Chain A
Amino acid sequence: MTPRSDSLHFSEARRLLAERSLEHVVVLGANGTMGYGSAALFTQVVPHVTFLARSREKAEEGLAAAIAQVRSPTVASRASVGDYGDLERAVAEADLVFEALTEDAEIKREMFDRVEAARSEDSIVASVTSGLSIAGLAEGRSESFRQHFLGLHFFNPPNVIVGTELIAGPDTLPEVADFVEAFGRIRLGREMVRTADTPAFAGNRVGFKVLNEAAQLAETLGPVLVDRLVGPYTGRALTPLATVDLVGWDIHRAIVDNVYANTDDEAHATNELPGYMAKLIEGGVLGDKSGGGFFKRDGKTRLALDPASGDYRPTSEIEVPDLGYIDEVAFFHAQARYAEGMAVFLKAEGDEAALARKVIGGYVSYAFHRAGEVTAEIGGIDRIMAMGFNWAPPSVLVDAMTPAGAVEMIDGAGLSVPEALEKAARTGEPSRFFLHPHINAGRFFVAN
């Protein structure tokens, strides 16, 4: 079942918000990053937010982290805290139960047993899971629970990243999903994207494929060169391996392992976690939160990982081949001449540029192949890549390169050319792919 592509008309969204109130949110797992981050976001517009965790002390820690995240006294004045002994009483009064527990279906199920027994018939239950099946989580539950259950996938940190995925289950009432869409969009200022209940949904499915391919390439090329090749000039502010460090290697592994195990698409091999990462994760390398991943700092010195040995060397000592074409692309980007910049990228000579085109071509190809599978149309993937990852959406890249240029890049890398691109290159229709009325296409191309 692919989700709806059109978004609610503003007047319909306002009507839905007038008809149903959302005054009390209970957050389960409020001490985790997504738990307290989401709770902080809710306090902005919801009068009462309950932070629940394994212990009252943990819930207090979550509250303190929420206050630190958004720096407002409102958080404390609108929050209450408790442990799971308080769950039944809190859930009974909640309009929304927001589950942000650890990504373990069994743990979530046990908690949902209690939520199901305590919740009022009309309350909404949302899971912030980034990978587990929404249908699976709802399976075997009462009709009322299934009708009011959905996935509401914020990206971290929720107060900064507005891209949000909404995943309806097979029995979710359309008016419940519509209300949550309206609430997210109008009250919380979210860019709401409806996605199918497929592994890793839309954003992480497409995004982590690219991140993982970058990690695979780093095994032989090293992280410095890979991040230079798939760097800002290709349409992202944060380079891919620095992104994996920020997200956490364990989270990266969970996402790509889930996709690798549960999908079988044309780019399957690129979703396989590199062996060196698995080994290093076992040794405690988790990215920034463990003190380092692909990169780390020693005082003022930036160090880069040698994937073969697990050792680190100063990035200043690592030699990178001459990549003058990147400076040329950046020269054009600095003047907002993005099409000319991308033309330089497409024509750049050398093995390194070809590898960069393989990764970017893989991104565009993979995204267009997923349209109709993870979202109704490419527009949904475009929006979540733009506002969830802050990457140039696939359609923006195609528009900047022209469809013929994109086809040549994809075909030249030996990848499968999506039909829509092949047709556009052949017929000239559509003349543009990125049609979002508000998102600036230029914001993603960073001039370095």
Chain B
Amino acid sequence: MSDRSEVYVLGGYQTDFARNWTKENKHFSALMRESVRGALERCEIAPEEVQSAHVGNFAAELYCMQGHLGAFFTEVDPAFSGLPTSRHEAACASGSIALLAASAEIEAGRYDLQAVVGIEQMKTVSPAEGGAFLGTAAWYDEEARDIEFPFPKLFGRLGDEYDARYGLNDEHLAEISKVNYANAKLNPNAQTRTWYMNKEHALCRTDDNPAVGGRIRIADCSQVTDGAVCVFLASRDYAERYARGTGRKLEEIPRIKGWGHNTARLRFADKVAESADDRFVLPHVRSTITRAMERAGIPDVSGIDGIETHDCFTTSEYMAIDHFGITEPGESWKAVEEGWLEIDGKHPINPSGGLIGAGHPVGATGVRQLLDATLQVSGQAGDFQVEGARNFQTLNIGGSGTTSVSFIVGR
């Protein structure tokens, strides 16, 4: 591969995921504007430099009665009028799909500097209505129609599948929740920074922690929210100039070293039927992770200093632990018991708080993960910094393990 395969991440900006933009009386365009302007300022990039933009979003048509989101990018600054923009959708992996499209265009040599925005405004509707909208990320007619909160139930079944194949103790799920909430306290942009949580609370089986889908209780869930994240991806040429202009060396600018991307069949039942004889419950998720490692030239998870994974529910993080190869399949509980997932553990997972702690504005999540990985390998993650991190990997999942995207960011 030539130099063209190199895609650099210059940095970006995240809106505070605790914010409710409806309460602030703000339009969807404000969310877009704050994230993009924040990124321009933070990265010290003039608007005129941006050559193209990709927007990742799941369902603004449902939540905000608004489509054509790529075009909203042009509203942010007069210099953006006329830019090529587009919008990408793959349920909760929408943000990562936008990143993939942008990086492919850089690799193709079409553009040198791209803005990627992940964005979702979800507090516009009631939880029940929003839960139904989220159901469209599954095969709606078969898995979600007339079901209250379909996704907790689907990911409850993921836990049940683990239980059937290997055994699963809910205490390990509670510990995963606890670690994510504790990490979120270190992240000033985390949705749950002020929420009360500890392992005892996560384990409690009273109305303080109601069940929402089989073994899934509120403490096991990430929560929807409003949020937007903008990052800038650049070619090697641009990154070299950018590094010089900001008094740095090219090696100091984080780079996307590898990526993986797979799509499994939509229905959860079909996925587990396919994997009945596989060591991994979701083999396509596994191959997304390992393809990213192969492309980065990293043999296994021992070369990864930290992970930002898609813990839409504690069961999805439990699945990620063995799918990353931290433990043998079915033995994720060992990593939980050993404390490996904690910020100063052997394999830190979600130092940001992840989706459970930091919040899950659906279309923004993949971009948020990439930004947090970038902050980590730049030593700029503040109180949630993994000390000395050089390589960070993300895993972003749409549907019930349907679309998977993984990036490795490093220096």
Contacts and interface: CB of A to CB of B under 8 A. Distances in A.
Interface of A: 10-11, 13-14, 40, 44-45, 70-74, 77-78, 159-162, 185-189, 191, 237, 330, 333-337, 437-440, 442-443, 445-448
Contacts of B38: 440
Given A73-B200, A335-B26, A438-B16, 13 more contacts: A14-B344, A44-B196, A70-B196, A186-B185, A189-B194, A330-B25, A333-B26, A335-B27, A336-B26, A439-B188, A442-B30, A443-B24, A447-B26
Interface string B13-55: 0011001000111110111011001100000000000000000
B26 A10 contact: no
Interface of B: 15-16, 19, 23-27, 29-31, 33-34, 37-38, 75, 184-186, 188-189, 193-194, 196-198, 200-201, 204, 206, 208, 344, 380, 382-383, 385, 387
B204 A72 contact: yes
Given A72-B201, A189-B185, A162 B194 contact: yes
Contacts of B31: 336
B25 A188 contact: no
Contacts of B189: 438, 440
A72 B196 contact: yes
Main SS at interface, chain B:
loop
A442 B34 contact: yes
Contacts of B194: 159-162, 189
A408 B33 CA distance: 28
* A72, A439, A448 pick with most chain B CB within 10 angstroms: A72
A186 B30 contact: no
Contacts, number: 100
A440 B26 CA distance: 14
B382 A334 contact: no
Nearest to A387: B188
A443 B387 CA distance: 30
Contacts of A77: 200
Contacts of A440: 15-16, 19, 34, 38, 189
Given A11-B387, A73-B208, A443 B185 contact: no
B383 A44 contact: no
Contacts of A448: 25
Nearest to A187: B185
A438 B31 CA distance: 16
Contacts of B201: 72-74
A78 B304 CA distance: 38
A187 B200 CA distance: 16
A336 B206 contact: no
A446 B24 contact: yes
Contacts of A333: 25-26, 30
A147 B254 CA distance: 45
B188 A438 contact: yes
Nearest to A18: B344
Contacts of B198: 44-45, 74
B33 A335 contact: yes
A205 B344 CA distance: 39
Given A160-B194, A189-B194, A440-B16, A337 B208 contact: no
Nearest to A161: B194
A298 to B, nearest CB: 26
A335 B29 contact: yes
B383 A185 contact: yes
B24 A73 contact: no
Contacts of A70: 196
A438 to B, nearest CB: 4
Nearest to B32: A336
A445 B29 CA distance: 15
B30 A336 contact: yes
B43 to A, nearest CB: 13
Contact of B382 (A438, A445, A447): A438
A334 B15 contact: no
A446 B24 CA distance: 5
Contacts of A443: 16, 19, 24
B72 to A, nearest CB: 11
23 contacts: A11-B387, A44-B197, A45-B198, A71-B196, A73-B208, A159-B196, A161-B194, A162-B194, A189-B193, A189-B194, A334-B26, A334-B30, A335-B27, A336-B29, A336-B34, A437-B382, A438-B382, A439-B188, A442-B34, A443-B16, A446-B24, A447-B24, A448-B25
Nearest to B344: A14
A40 B198 CA distance: 13
A45 B30 CA distance: 37
B219 to A, nearest CB: 10
Nearest to A436: B188
Contacts of B382: 10, 437-438
Contacts of A73: 200-201, 204, 206, 208
